[in-house]
Each structure stands twice: as structure tokens, then as C-alpha cells.
């Protein structure tokens, strides 16, 4: 017996009448047949219905009764990444987040070209949309083994203290193509993910065998939900602007505090008795 209770979680009432919060297997936002002929129903049935289901079941077992139990998925990812020395729950938590994000990055009849600010930033940061596409597909092809390829918005003006920033010389407030091994998610670098494609073999082998570049370029041309990616960019920019405001406010308070301390010190000096000082 169970009931939905919050984003990604539901309450499960066990046979012993104890109640635990558990993550649920969230379905893609379209039927499993909807991405054909580019991604087959069989691929989605295996990928979502078996692989993703396994990550959900494993995570629910792993966090039961631990300090991670009760946390949201992103908080579990950040906590279990453990500054680059991941705890056992990290892979399952990040794989759930990555897969949900992947399904929502696509839609039937998608692909083509983005528009608006997203297109403007891509052209600014990559030269042209064509050059961007080439870098994205090349990055996916160059990745050795299992992992993910991402479009992210990098706005981390603040220090990244959760992990080593892989591109510390990159300018901030720009679009970055990144690839990550296994389950790693750019959230741990404080980047804002905008789109991802799963490049584990289980994602494409049934439909494309070993032709990973063909699989990735087909998704980019036929399936990407650019409207969703644009919405994510708006959220990422708002978040970055909010954090920049908070940082400015923090600096302003620090400066105020320092100038108050200087005033206090000069008042102490003015109020001190020079004769007493000389007598000492």
C-alpha cells in the first residue's frame, strides 16, 4: 500500500505498519513508443523499466535508516559525492536524477534549432550552432566508457568547494559542453545542467549498436526539447543572478563591518589617556 507524497517520493506503508519515505520510478513525459523510430520502445522498456528501476530500488535500500533518508534527491547527490570520494548511495541517486533529466530533455517531434537567448549564448560561446553541435557530438564520441554528455550553464562565481573545478580558467556565465564518467552530474561542480544525453551502452546499443555518434546526433537533430532547455537556462540565469546579489550583499556587509571596526579602533585611540600611556 502506498501513496504519493512529494516530488519524486511516496510514502510506503509496510506490512509491519511502519511508514518510510521512498523514491519512486518517475516515467518519461510521453509513452514509451513516442520516440520511435529514433529510439525504440524496446530500448525505453529496458532503459527506463529495468535500468532506472534498478537505481530507484537500490537507492531506497541504501538510504533506509541512514542520515540520507528523508533528504531530497539533489541533496543526497551533493552529500554523497563527498568531495570526490563518493559514498555508495551516490551512483544510484545521481543515476535517478540523470535519467529523469534525460527523458525530459527529449520529446516526439523535437530537434531542429533552439531560439532566443539560448541560441544567442550558443552562438556567442561556440561561434555558431553548427560548431556547437560538432563539439557536442565529438565530446560524446571521445568519452571512453560509460557516462553522460551535457550542455550546462556555468555561473559559479563563488568558490567551488565541493569538488575540483575541471575547467577553472573558463569564464563564468557561459554555456559549456561537458562529459562526466559513470553517474557523475555537473551539479557537483556547481554547474547548472541544461540538457543531457546518456552515453552508457544500455542507452543506444539495441538501436544503434556501437554507433554512438549516430545515436547522439540523431537525438540532437530529431528529439531534443529545446523549449525545455530554454526554460532551464532561464532558471539557471535567475539562480545565478540571485546568487550574485547575495554575494554582493555579503561583501557589502563585510566592508561595513570592517569600517565599523576601524571606527571603533580610532575611537579607542582618541579616548585613551596619553599621560597614562607615557607613564607605562
Q: Please identify, using beta-carbon distances, which residue of 136 and 200 lies nearer to Fe ion.
A: 200
Distance, CA of 46 to CA of 79 (rounded, Å): 29
Q: Minimum CB separation from Fe ion for residue 148, in Å?
A: 9
Q: Please identify, using beta-carbon distances, which residue of 54 and 112 lies nearer to Fe ion.
A: 54
Please give the grid coordinates belonging to residue 270.
582618541
Please give the grid coordinates belonging to residue 238.
535567475
Q: Minimum CB separation from Fe ion for residue 193, in Å?
A: 15
Q: Minimum CB separation from Fe ion for residue 202, in Å?
A: 5
What does each C-alpha distance from 59 to 24, 29, 205 come to in angstroms? Answer: 10, 22, 25
Q: Are 33 and 41 in contact (CB under 8 A)?
A: yes
Binding residues for Fe ion, how many (CB under 5 A)? 3
Q: Please identify, using beta-carbon distances, which residue of 103 and 200 lies nearer to Fe ion.
A: 200
Q: Minimum CB separation from Fe ion for residue 1, in Å?
A: 30
DSSP 109-143: T--S---HHHHHHHHHHHSSHHHHHHHHHHHHHH-
Q: Please identify, using beta-carbon distances, which residue of 150 and 200 lies nearer to Fe ion.
A: 200
Q: Please identify, using beta-carbon distances, which residue of 190 and 198 lies nearer to Fe ion.
A: 198
End-to-end CA distance of the chain, in Å? Answer: 82
Q: Where are the alpha helices (DSSP H) in 64-200?
A: 73-81, 89-104, 116-126, 129-142
Q: Minimum CB separation from Fe ion for residue 158, in Å?
A: 31
Distance, CA of 269 to CA of 250 (rounded, Å): 29
Q: Please identify, using beta-carbon distances, which residue of 201 and 227 lies nearer to Fe ion.
A: 201
Q: Minimum CB separation from Fe ion for residue 203, in Å?
A: 5
CA 14 from chain centre, in angstroms, equals: 32
Site string for Fe ion, 214-253 (x = CB under 5 A): ----------------------------------------
Can you say whether residue 83 is alpha, beta or left, with left for phi > 0 and alpha for psi between -120 and 50 degrees? left
From 180, 207, 209, select the one nearest 95 (Cα to Cα).
180
Residues 182-221 interacting with Fe ion (rule: CB under 5 A): 198, 200, 203
Site string for Fe ion, 149-188 (x = CB under 5 A): ----------------------------------------
Q: Minimum CB separation from Fe ion for residue 225, in Å?
A: 18
Q: Please identify, using beta-carbon distances, which residue of 104 and 190 lies nearer to Fe ion.
A: 104
* CA dihedral (232, 70, 159, 133) positive or negative: negative
Q: Which residue is nearest to Fe ion (CB)?
A: 198
Under the criterion CB under 5 A, does residue 100 sit at the interface with Fe ion?
no
Point out which residues bind Fe ion (CB under 5 A).
198, 200, 203
Amino acid at each position: 500500500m502506498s501513496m504519493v507524497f512529494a516530488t519524486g517520493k511516496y510514502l510506503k506503508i509496510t506490512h509491519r505498519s511502519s511508514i518510510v519515505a521512498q523514491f519512486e520510478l518517475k516515467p518519461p513525459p510521453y509513452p514509451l513508443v513516442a520516440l520511435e523510430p529514433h529510439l525504440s520502445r524496446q530500448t525505453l522498456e529496458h532503459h527506463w523499466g529495468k535500468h532506472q528501476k534498478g537505481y530507484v530500488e537500490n537507492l531506497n535500500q541504501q538510504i533506509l535508516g541512514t542520515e540520507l533518508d528523508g533528504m531530497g534527491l539533489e541533496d543526497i547527490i551533493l552529500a554523497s559525492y563527498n568531495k570526490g570520494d563518493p559514498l555508495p548511495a551516490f551512483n544510484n541517486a545521481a543515476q535517478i536524477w540523470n535519467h529523469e533529466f534525460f527523458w525530459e530533455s527529449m520529446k516526439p517531434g523535437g530537434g531542429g534549432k533552439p531560439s532566443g537567448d539560448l541560441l544567442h549564448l550558443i552562438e556567442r560561446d561556440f561561434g555558431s550552432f553548427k560548431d556547437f553541435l560538432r563539439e557536442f557530438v565529438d565530446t560524446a564520441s571521445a568519452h571512453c566508457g560509460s557516462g553522460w554528455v551535457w550542455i550546462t550553464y556555468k555561473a559559479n562565481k563563488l568558490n567551488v568547494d565541493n569538488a575540483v573545478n575541471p575547467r577553472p580558467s573558463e569564464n563564468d556565465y557561459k554555456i559549456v559542453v561537458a562529459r562526466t564518467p559513470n553517474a557523475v552530474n555537473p551539479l557537483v561542480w556547481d554547474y547548472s545542467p541544461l540538457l543531457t544525453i546518456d552515453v552508457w551502452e544500455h542507452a543506444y546499443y539495441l538501436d544503434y549498436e556501437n554507433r554512438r555518434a549516430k545515436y547522439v546526433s540523431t537525438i540532437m537533430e530529431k528529439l531534443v526539447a529545446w523549449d525545455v532547455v530554454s526554460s532551464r537556462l532561464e532558471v539557471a540565469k535567475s539562480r545565478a543572478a540571485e546568487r550574485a546579489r547575495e554575494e554582493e550583499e555579503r561583501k557589502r556587509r563585510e566592508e561595513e563591518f570592517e569600517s565599523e571596526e576601524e571606527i571603533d579602533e580610532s575611537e579607542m585611540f582618541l579616548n585613551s589617556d596619553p599621560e597614562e600611556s607615557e607613564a607605562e
